[in-house]
């Protein structure tokens, strides 16, 4: 490497942001995730080794920062207004007529765009750098969510001002934070795996994620930003039409909606409304209407504002996506972890772009709370691509002969006892893998796209494999042959061969996928990735006790317990051994290399005051060497670094017999290891 460290850092930042933009805004990645990760990790390492070179606009800031106690209040430079709504064509015609009259013109040019269903935010860029962002709040005062906004991958931390003669000294960019439908589905899938509560719709998920005091949680949530306009601007003149302003923002690397357009007159507005209503379900994000804005900025000024809304803009809302239907029956489904979910069978009804015949009732409590009975007329809601749910019962129309539903006391599939933990809302079948329903779900999970990705192994086929007793555990999949498959319905030789081919292909996998595929309770995809990254090998993961497991970021006592319960079950160990014997494998070397860092997985606690550096610097330098720094002394602690006036933590360390380093010894430890770490670091990069 001939570059100096600051040059290398600048180079990496530029490249990482360029690839972020390609991936998150243009949707056309130029490099693989692995190549991206290598650059990112190199930058992280350099910034931790050289803390003075870290800056708030570095892409590494996107992973989140230390949790806050509360959000600071921000007074908006220009108020964040709301929009007047229209719910039908007449109201739109009236808006256009008023606009023409005020402007004294025959026809108005409008800029039109979708109305995003997310949360309004304002972003402030000073000299091209993102310095502060806030929620709308009451329109005058919002909450400072800067650190959380920094984690949003498609939100530029620095504007692309290369084509400009001089940087824009100040600009406020207004837009919406939202969660794309596919990210929302993935998040709820994770929530199911973790046994956490589901988000009702992408908007709630986006709001819950943006208003996290711990920005690391926000970072894990995959939010997106879309701009719909600019507020105050200094040191720069924006174009004089709204549409061109958006185009200008786009040139600065700010994501703007692709569906925006310029139309003439009210007919143009209504055509656009119908077009977008058609397109609505195909868009990657949720919208709740369209927004019409007078395109010309001086005409906007002429129209002005009335109370809290502009006269030059109008939101034309879509009708709510709910529909009425009848509950024909209530049945129970048995999930992978044995959870019994009541499901309503409905008279088919068209809602949210699809025909719905089933709706989840979540659990018994929910069903009681909403008082849903067989025979009821209910309103069914489908938010985005979420599983449809029963929103409410239309009590005024309740027939006299409705029947109440009771959860069964035994599993409807295998007949085993149904049990419930006192603190849980969910009843579970106690049949474990003896229950065919659970076995089928476990196989389905194992073969699913995010797990071992066995193409062509769908639900119907799994049903047959289990019913013909050909497959009991995932390991049995690798024993299937043409002869066995020939017994199945609708299985020609060609499809049998294809299936065997994809089973064979699935043997080459990654450790993260394998861990996820095991279907350990509370271990979703993200957790599996974290575990794979931390342990690097399956053996060390399996050998870790609950205390070690909790050293992995984001793993608490509940997940740790699920993991150790899973490995305590001899049957599970047997399945794992058989899978490995069948040739299921993953590359381990690259991850191993990262673990060569000298203080890998060592746990430090800092206490008292250090003279030679701040606590933040001490922490960063330790972390760059692979160590973890925690706040309290426990059995898990390897070293306590005691500065001047160290207090109770030092006492605790002595009680627990934990190694204590004074400042001199600590500096010695850092300098020895930092030297060796640079060498290791080079090696890591070579291997990767």
Q: Which residues are catalytic?
A: 115
Site for ligand IVH in 634-653 (CB under 6 A): none
Please give the Cα distance from 142 to 244 (Å, whole number): 28
Residue 81 within binding range of ligand IVH, rule CB under 6 A: yes
Which residues ranging from 130 to 159 are in contact with ligand IVH (CB under 6 A)? Answer: 136
C-alpha–C-alpha distance, residues 74 and 539, integer Å: 50
Residue number, 271 or 679, with CB nearest to ligand IVH: 271
Q: Which is nearer to ligand IVH, 262 or 407 (CB)?
A: 262
120: contact with ligand IVH by CB under 6 A: yes
285 sits near ligand IVH (criterion: CB under 6 A): no
**β-bridge partners, 291:** 113, 315
Residue nearest to ligand IVH (CB): 120
Residue 641 CA, chain-centre distance (Å), reads 36
Q: Which is nearer to ligand IVH, 160 or 259 (CB)?
A: 259
Binding range to ligand IVH, per CB under 6 A, among 39-47, 115-123, 273-281, 446-454: 115-123
Smaller CB separation from ligand IVH, 313 or 538: 313
Q: Which stretch binds ligand IVH (CB under 6 A): 5-13, 32-40, 113-121, 632-640?
A: 113-121
Contact 409, 417 (CB under 8 A): yes
Q: How long is the chain? A: 688
Within 166-185, which residues bind ligand IVH (CB under 6 A)?
176
Question: Tokens 């290399």 appear where?
Answer: 593
Residue 286 touches ligand IVH, criterion: CB under 6 A: no
Beta bridge partners of 332: 342
Q: Are 381 and 286 in contact (CB under 8 A)?
A: no
Q: What is the DSSP letter of 23?
A: I
Min separation Cβ 217 and ligand IVH, Å: 23
Rounded to whole angstroms, how far apart are CA atoms 125 and 131?
Answer: 6
Which residue, 507, 570, 559, 564, is CA-closest to 528?
Answer: 559
36, 116, 130, 427: which one binds ligand IVH (CB under 6 A): 116
What are the residues facing 143 on neighbouring strands?
73
* Cβ atoms of residues 110 and 294 within 8 Å: yes
Residue 284 Cβ vs ligand IVH, minimum distance, rounded to whole Å: 15
Using rule CB under 6 A, residue 291 touches ligand IVH: yes
Given 76, 115, 203, 381, the residue binding ligand IVH (CB under 6 A) = 115
Give the nearer residue to ligand IVH in terms of CB position, either 18 or 250: 250
Pair 24, 32: CB distance under 8 Å: no
**Which tokens sit at 550?**
């909790």
316 binds ligand IVH (CB under 6 A): no
Report how many residues bind ligand IVH under the rule CB under 6 A: 15
> Which of residues 113, 364, 376, 663 is near ligand IVH by CB under 6 A?
113
Nearest to 37 by CA among 14, 61, 20: 20
Name which of 115 and 521 has its Cβ closer to ligand IVH. Answer: 115
Of 55, 82, 430, 473, the one binding ligand IVH by CB under 6 A: 82
CB of 80 to ligand IVH, least distance (A): 6
Q: Which of residues 199, 228, 272, 516 is near ligand IVH by CB under 6 A?
A: 228
Distance from C-alpha of 495 to C-alpha of 304, rounded to nearest angstrom: 66
Return d(Cα 688, Cα 678) in angstroms, integer: 15
Name all contacts of 389-393 with Cβ < 8 Å and 24+ positions apart.
Answer: 389/359, 389/360, 389/361, 389/362, 390/327, 390/344, 390/359, 390/361, 391/322
Q: Which residues contact 113 (CB under 8 A, 6 or more apart)?
A: 228, 246, 257, 259, 260, 261, 290, 291, 293
Strand 377-381 and strand 389-393: the pairing is: antiparallel
Q: Which of 12, 83, 576, 599 binds ligand IVH (CB under 6 A)?
A: 83
CB of residue 656 to ligand IVH, shortest distance in Å: 52
Q: What are phi and psi of 354, to 5 degrees?
A: -140, 165
Question: Angle formed by the axes of helices 33-49 and 663-687, to 10°?
Answer: 160
Name the minimum Å distance from CB 273 to ligand IVH: 13
Quick check: 280 binds ligand IVH (CB under 6 A)? no
Q: What does the alpha-carbon distance between residue 348 and residue 334 come to, in Å, rounded to a whole number?
A: 23
- Strand 85-86, strand 313-317: pairing: parallel
Distance separating alpha carbons of residues 393 and 371, to the nearest angstrom: 7
Q: What is the footprint of ligand IVH within residues 445-504 (CB under 6 A)?
A: none
Of the pair 25, 291, the CB lying nearest ligand IVH is at 291
* Subset of residues 524 to 563 that bind ligand IVH, contact rule: CB under 6 A: none
Residue placing its CB nearer to ligand IVH in the complex, 39 or 315: 315
Shorter beta-carbon distance to ligand IVH: residue 178 or 669: 178
CB atoms under 10 Å from CB of 539, counted, come to 10
Nearer to ligand IVH, 271 or 354 (CB): 271
**Contact track, ligand IVH, 384-403, x by CB under 6 A:** --------------------
Using CA atoms, how far apart are residues 634 and 604, in angstroms rounded to an integer? Answer: 10
If binding is defined by CB under 6 A, does position 310 make contact with ligand IVH? yes
Question: Segment contacting ligand IVH (CB under 6 A): 109-117, 180-188, 391-399, 563-571?
Answer: 109-117
CB of 292 to ligand IVH, least distance (A): 10
Q: Which residues bind ligand IVH (CB under 6 A)?
A: 81-83, 113, 115-116, 120, 136, 176, 228-229, 291, 310, 313, 315
């Amino acid at each position: 490497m001939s570059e100096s460290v600051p040059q290398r850092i600048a180079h990496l930042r530029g490249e990482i942001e360029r690839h972020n933009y390609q991936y998150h805004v243009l949707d056309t990645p130029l490099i693989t995730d692995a190549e991206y990760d290598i650059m990112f990790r190199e930058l992280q390492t350099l910034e931790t080794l050289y803390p003075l070179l870290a800056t708030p606009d570095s892409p590494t800031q996107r992973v989140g920062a230390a949790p806050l106690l509360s959000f600071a209040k921000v007074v908006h430079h220009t108020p964040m207004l709301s929009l007047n709504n229209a719910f039908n064509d007449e109201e739109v015609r009236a808006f256009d007529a008023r606009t023409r009259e005020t402007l004294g013109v025959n026809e108005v040019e409008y800029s039109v765009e979708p109305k995003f269903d997310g949360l309004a935010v304002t972003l402030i860029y000073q000299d091209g750098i993102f310095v502060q962002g806030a929620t709308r709040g009451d329109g005058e005062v919002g909450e400072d969510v800067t650190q959380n906004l920094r984690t949003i991958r498609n939100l530029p931390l620095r504007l692309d001002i290369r084509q400009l003669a001089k940087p824009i000294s100040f600009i406020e960019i207004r837009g919406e934070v939202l969660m794309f439908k596919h990210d929302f589905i993935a998040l709820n899938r994770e929530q199911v795996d973790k046994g956490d509560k589901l988000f009702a719709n992408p908007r709630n998920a986006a709001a819950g994620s943006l208003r996290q005091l711990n920005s690391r949680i926000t970072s894990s949530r995959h939010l997106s930003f879309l701009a719909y306009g600019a507020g105050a601007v200094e040191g720069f003149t924006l174009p004089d039409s709204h549409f061109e302003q958006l185009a200008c923002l786009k040139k600065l690397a700010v994501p703007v909606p692709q569906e925006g357009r310029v139309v003439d007159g009210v007919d143009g507005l209504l055509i656009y409304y119908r077009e977008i209503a058609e397109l609505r379900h195909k868009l990657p994000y949720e919208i709740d209407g369209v927004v019409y804005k007078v395109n010309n900025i001086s005409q906007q000024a002429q129209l002005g504002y009335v109370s809290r809304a502009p006269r030059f803009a109008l939101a034309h809302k879509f009708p709510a996506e709910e529909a009425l239907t009848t509950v024909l029956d209530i049945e129970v489904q048995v999930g992978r972890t044995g959870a019994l979910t009541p499901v309503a069978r409905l008279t088919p009804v068209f809602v949210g772009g699809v025909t719905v015949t089933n709706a989840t009732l979540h659990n018994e409590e929910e069903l009681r709370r909403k008082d849903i009975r067989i025979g009821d007329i209910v309103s069914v809601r489908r938010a985005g691509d979420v599983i449809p749910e029963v929103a409410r019962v239309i009590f005024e129309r309740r027939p006299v002969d409705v029947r109440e539903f009771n959860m069964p006391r035994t599993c409807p599939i295998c007949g085993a006892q149904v049990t419930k933990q006192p603190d849980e809302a969910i009843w579970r079948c106690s049949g474990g893998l003896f229950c065919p329903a659970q076995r089928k779900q476990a196989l389905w999970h194992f073969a699913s796209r995010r797990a071992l990705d066995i193409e062509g192994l769908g639900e119907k086929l799994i049903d047959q494999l289990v019913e013909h007793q050909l497959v009991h555990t995932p390991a049995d999949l690798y024993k299937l042959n043409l002869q066995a498959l020939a017994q199945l319905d609708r299985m020609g030789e060609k499809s049998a061969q294809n299936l065997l081919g994809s089973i064979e292909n699935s043997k080459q996998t990654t450790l993260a996928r394998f861990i996820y595929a095991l279907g350990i309770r509370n271990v979703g995809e993200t957790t599996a990735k974290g575990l794979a990254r931390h342990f690097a090998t399956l053996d060390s993961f399996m050998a870790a006790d609950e205390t070690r497991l909790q050293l992995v970021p984001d793993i608490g006592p509940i997940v740790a317990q699920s993991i150790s319960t899973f490995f305590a079950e001899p049957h599970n160990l047997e399945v794992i051994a058989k899978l490995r014997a069948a040739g299921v494998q993953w590359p381990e070397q690259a991850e191993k290399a990262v673990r060569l860092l000298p203080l890998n997985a060592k746990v430090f606690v800092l206490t008292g005051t250090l003279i030679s550096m701040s606590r933040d610097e001490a922490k960063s330098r330790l972390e760059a060497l692979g160590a973890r720094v925690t706040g309290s002394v426990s059995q898990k602690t390897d070293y306590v670094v005691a500065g001047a006036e160290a207090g109770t933590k030092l006492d605790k360390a002595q009680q627990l017999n934990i190694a204590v380093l004074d400042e001199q010894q600590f500096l010695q430890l850092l300098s020895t290891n930092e030297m060796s770490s640079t060498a290791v670091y080079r090696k890591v990069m070579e291997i990767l």
